[in-house]
């Protein structure tokens, strides 16, 4: 059965969540970069659909599949990814400026100097992934993704079973960054075809200033390039400085809602439009005043 919610958020903080019976129509990276992506719409939920990461030039065709539904809640963004085919890790690093390469190396040295020697472990087999889950879950519960967005590493039994099933088929890549025996960052990457999917990254907020997520991401990429197996690293929907920095390419996407034309849904879309407009205006003012970075830090605190 379809289910879901429509969220009202500021930065990383969810202020309100309104439950709705929604199906999800999601586009994979491989669909997006195909010359003519196919549209295979799912059956809608009672209240409609949540469309995720749709190609911006295909929105009219997508909406036409549900002509009686109301469109709203649209968010435009670039879906970042790394094109890995035919590239070595050194080739990838050369996509960065000399200044950025120096900054990335400095982050690793700073972590080692200020927090002590660290280790990064890789987890692929079912036994290794089970150990990864056990080690990462307590850390995940402390991250802002889990506390504010319900987007931490999932701890439901069915989620664990799904990860172990993927590991059995050699379709999981997981990484932990540890200080001694204590994990301070984790990265979980399911494999879909030739694509690594950026599913979950989290880090200990007490070590945030040492950029453990960035250090872990870079080392994981070095190991993944060395496999010479993957064509893409998909940062999935949504913008973010981390995704923009590490991505080599992007595709213009949009996520939006297609809701059944009930009075309640009309009111909800109207409220969402008013809310999003107010946030957009406030963000523009904060950017001009230089206060945006301080606001983001406060929201994550």
Asked if 216 and 93 sit in the same domain, the reply is yes
Q: Using alpha carbons only, what angle is made at residue 11 by residues 7 and 274, rounded to the nearest 5 degrees? A: 55
Asked if 39 and 64 sit in the same domain, the reply is yes
Q: Structurally, how many domains does the chain consist of? A: 2
Residue 238 lies in a domain: no
What is the reported pLDDT for 3?
A: 58
What is the reported pLDDT for 12?
A: 55
Residue 126 lies in a domain: yes
9 within 8 A of 145, measured Cβ to Cβ: no
Residue 134 has which token pair?
Answer: 């056990």
What is the reported pLDDT for 278?
A: 85
What is the reported pLDDT for 118?
A: 93
Instruction: For residues 260 and 48, give the distance between their C-alpha atoms in angstroms, rounded to a whole number.
Output: 5
Partnered with residue 55 across adjacent β-strands are: 253
The conformation of residue 230, written as its DSSP 8-state character, comes to -
Q: To which residue do tokens 């080739």 refer? A: 91
Asked if 136 and 269 sit in the same domain, the reply is no
Residue 20 lies in a domain: yes
**Three-state secondary structure call for residue 153:** coil
What is the reported pLDDT for 263?
A: 96
Residue 240 lies in a domain: no
Asked if 47 and 134 sit in the same domain, the reply is no
Asked if 130 and 190 sit in the same domain, the reply is yes
Of the residues 201, 230, 259, the one at which a domain ends:
230
Which pLDDT tens digit goes with each residue over 12-24?
566 777 889 999 9
Residue 257 lies in a domain: yes
Instruction: For residues 28 and 197, give the distance between their C-alpha atoms in angstroms, rounded to a whole number.
Output: 10
Partnered with residue 185 across adjacent β-strands are: 177, 203
Give the contacts of 86 (CB within 8 A, at least 6 positions apart): none
What is the reported pLDDT for 13?
A: 66
Asked if 131 and 210 sit in the same domain, the reply is yes
Residue 245 lies in a domain: no
Instruction: For residues 26 and 237, give the distance between their C-alpha atoms in angstroms, rounded to a whole number.
Output: 10
CA distances from 258 to 28, 29, 76, 105, 295 (A): 19, 21, 15, 45, 31
Q: Residue 130 sits in which domain range? A: 85-230
Residue 145 lies in a domain: yes
Series of mean pLDDT values for 10-residue runs along the chain (301 residues): 66 74 93 80 94 93 95 93 96 95 93 90 98 96 67 88 98 97 96 96 92 96 97 92 94 95 94 85 75 50 44
272 C-beta neighbours (distance < 10 Å), count: 19
**Three-state secondary structure call for residue 102:** helix
Asked if 146 and 218 sit in the same domain, the reply is yes
What is the reported pLDDT for 151?
A: 64
Asked if 96 and 210 sit in the same domain, the reply is yes
Give the contacts of 36 (CB within 8 A, at least 6 positions apart): none
Beta strand 70-83 with 118-123 is: unpaired
The CATH number of whichever domain residue 154 belongs to comes to: 3.40.630.30
Residue 243 lies in a domain: no
List the one residue out of 215, 207, 151, 160 whose CA is nearest residue 184.
207
What is the reported pLDDT for 242?
A: 92
Partnered with residue 84 across adjacent β-strands are: none
């Amino acid at each position: 059965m379809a289910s879901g919610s429509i969220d009202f958020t500021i930065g990383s903080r969810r202020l309100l969540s309104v439950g709705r019976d929604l199906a999800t129509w999601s586009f994979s990276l491989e669909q997006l970069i195909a010359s003519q992506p196919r549209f295979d719409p799912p059956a809608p939920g009672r209240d409609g659909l949540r469309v995720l990461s749709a190609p911006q030039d295909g929105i009219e065709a997508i909406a036409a599949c549900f002509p009686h539904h109301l469109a709203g809640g649209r968010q435009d963004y670039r879906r970042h990814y790394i094109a890995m085919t035919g590239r070595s890790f050194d080739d990838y690093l050369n996509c960065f400026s000399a200044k950025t390469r120096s900054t990335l190396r400095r982050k690793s040295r700073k972590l080692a100097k200020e927090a002590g020697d660290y280790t990064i472990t890789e987890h692929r087999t079912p036994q290794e992934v089970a150990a990864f889950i056990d080690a990462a879950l307590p850390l995940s519960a402390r991250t802002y993704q889990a506390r504010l967005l319900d987007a931490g590493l999932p701890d439901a039994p069915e989620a664990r079973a799904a990860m172990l099933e993927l590991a059995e088929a050699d379709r999981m890549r997981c990484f932990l960054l540890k200080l001694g025996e204590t994990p301070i960052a984790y990265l979980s990457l399911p494999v879909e075809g030739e694509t690594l999917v950026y599913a979950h990254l989290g880090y200990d907020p007490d070590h945030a200033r040492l950029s453990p997520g960035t250090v872990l991401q870079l080392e994981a990429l070095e190991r993944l390039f060395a496999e010479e197996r993957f064509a893409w690293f998909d940062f999935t929907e949504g913008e973010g400085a981390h995704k923009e920095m590490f991505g080599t390419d992007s595709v213009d996407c949009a996520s939006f809602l297609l809701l059944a034309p009930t009075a309640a849904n009309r009111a909800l879309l109207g409220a969402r439009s008013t809310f999003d407009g107010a946030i957009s205006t406030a963000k523009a003012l904060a950017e001009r005043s230089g206060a945006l970075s301080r606001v983001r830090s406060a929201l994550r605190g």
